[in-house]
Amino acid sequence: MKPTRSATRRRFLQQGTAGATLFHIVPARALGLQGQAPPSDTVNFGHIGIGGRGRGFLRREANAGKAVPASLNLGGDGTRMLRPGRSVALCDIDTSRLDQAATMVGGSPKLYKDFRLLLEDKDVDAVYIASPDHWHALHTILACQAGKDVYCEKPACNTIEEGRAMVDAAKRYNRVVQIGSQGRSQPAAWQANNYIKAGRLGQIRKVLCWHYASPAGDWTPDADPPPGLDYNAWVGPARWLPYNVKHTHGAFRWLIDFGGGQIRDRGAHVMSIANWIMDCDYTGPVSVEAKGEPPHDGMYDAAVTMEVTYQFRNPDWTLVWAQPGIPSTTLDARYGAVYWGDAGNVTVTLGDGQGTSTDQKARDFAAQCDCGKAFKSPGHSENWEDCIRTREKPVMHMEAGHRVASLCILGNVSFQLQRKLEWDAVAEKFKHDEEANRLLSRPGRGPWNL
């Protein structure tokens, strides 16, 4: 079906600021006028993609408009208070997931299978996007054009071109966009950031990340999509592959076209904290070199094991992503990073919804002093929802999300080509390597392209 509004990059760039008037702007009840407090503190949410992660953002009708403990929300951890909000519209291309989410929310939320119709819904102030990775860019860009603020799950994008277009859209349409690398909003990440920024480790020279390997995937025959799943819509802008249960829900992460392996999945958490601590939300490395054996057997094409080294300049430091890598000797966790400075080291584990921890010395120091002046988030969704009301920039804003996703993308490109690459973080191009540059974008499919 042809989109109701062109999603082409040419049209997107031509619309400019004036074009924003063609789309629904968040109503005064949610934003207030001229920076004043809104008369109602309740935000109406739409939800695009309501599988496992997406269900965690839903608001029960019984709690609509109330500030409630996270434990009373779906998927909450019970440690924070959610801002007033209600889930008024749900969208998924899988009917079974749509029906399940509607039952969980209760009441009478509007149900959509076409996300464009949800974006045209004037009752929706802001959207939670938890679609598969390869849809994040178009969902976010079109939501910004439609005047919605956006919380988009990580990784932000599948290509460098997509990420830059998302940043441009957030800026052009003055939208508040938060990327779901929620480790930045967890206390342990703040404690470590505070410890490091207070100079307790001296100059940081290297950050060593570790993670377990990606799966290779046992061969499973292709099949017909299950009833209720619009598989053509699920593939959307990605390269067409026949339906396979190991290509879709959850398992899509191990295919480069849909996901991109552990480096794009958990790397978007672990390296998000690294970029935050190292003040790299607006820049990137000068080189990237990935080593490892390309997958030979199995049905996935993402790296099973790999080691990626990124070199940064001004200041000079090294970031290493390694799967499996060498775990911390001070904290037991399946993944995380060790920050090595001139005066010692500190560990930050995990960085996602499974929790985050850091060394006791950083926790003790934070209890005495916030000398590092690091931002202390009230919670990731809470931070975004606060910024919807204040129009400030959230802790994992769109540019930050793009720069972290860029690290993941660069690592995969270097791995695919099996060579070291020089990177221009301003132009966002590889130096002297056109073959590598061709891997920084994708053509899209049918109407779904930039």
- CATH number of domain containing 291: 3.30.360.10
Number of domains within the chain = 2
Do both 95 and 204 map to the same domain?
Answer: no
Residue 238 lies in a domain: no
Q: Is residue 235 part of a domain?
A: no
Q: At 132, is the pLDDT very low, low, confident or very high (cuts 50, 70, 90)? A: very high
Mean pLDDT of the chain: 89
Q: Is residue 261 part of a domain?
A: yes
Predicted confidence (pLDDT) per residue in 254-310, tens digit: 999 999 999 999 999 999 999 999 999 999 999 999 998 878 788 999 999 999 999
Q: Give pLDDT tens digits for 349-387.
A: 999 978 899 999 999 999 999 898 899 999 999 999 999
Q: Measure Cα distances from 94 to 33, 154, 289, 292, 318 in Å.
A: 38, 21, 39, 37, 43
- If asked whether residues 131 and 160 sit together in one domain, one would say yes
Same domain, 177 and 188: no
Q: Is residue 389 part of a domain?
A: no
Q: Give percent above pLDDT 70 in the chain.
A: 89
Domain identity same for 17 and 78: yes
Within-domain flag for 393? no
Q: What is the pLDDT of residues 248-261, one digit of tens each?
A: 998 999 999 999 99
Q: Are residues 160 and 197 in the same domain?
A: no
- Residue 89: pLDDT over 50: yes
Residue 245's pLDDT band (cuts 50, 70, 90): very high
The beta strands (E) that lie in 161-270 are given as: 177-179, 204-210
Q: Are residues 177 and 198 in the same domain?
A: no
As a three-state string, the secondary structure of 54-72 is: HHCCCCCHHHCCCCEEHHH
Phi-psi region of 325 (alpha: psi -120 to 50; beta: other; left: phi over 0): left
**192 burial type by CB count under 10 A (0-12 exposed, 13-18 middle, 19+ buried):** buried
pLDDT band at 311 (very low <50, low <70, confident <90, very high): very high
Tens-digit pLDDT profile for residues 108-123: 999 999 999 999 999 9
pLDDT of residue 297: 80
Greater model confidence, 176 or 38: 176
Phi, psi (degrees; rounded to nearest 5) at 414: -60, -40
With cut-offs at 50, 70 and 90, classify the pLDDT of residue 85: very high
Domain shared by 204 and 348, yes or no: yes
Going by pLDDT thresholds of 50, 70 and 90, the confidence category of residue 74 is low
Q: Are residues 168 and 206 in the same domain?
A: no
Distance from C-alpha of 292 to C-alpha of 448, rounded to nearest angstrom: 33
Does 57 share its domain with 76? yes
CATH code of 39's domain: 3.40.50.720
Q: Which of 160, 183, 206 is the last residue of a domain?
A: 183
The answer to whether residue 5 scores a pLDDT higher than 80 is: no
- Owning domain of residue 168: 9-183
Q: Answer yes or no: is 380 within a domain.
A: no
123 lies in the same domain as 191? no
Listed range (72-76, 88-92, 93-97) with the worst mean pLDDT: 72-76
Do 326 and 362 lie in one domain? The reply is: yes
Which tokens in the block code for residue 237?
Answer: 């802008």
How far is Cα 374 from Cα 186, in angstroms, rounded to an integer? 12
pLDDT in tens, 148-194: 999 999 999 999 999 999 999 999 999 999 999 999 999 999 999 99
Examine the domain organization and report whether 144 and 206 are in the same domain. Answer: no
Residue type, 101: A
Asked if residue 14 has pLDDT above 70, the reply is no
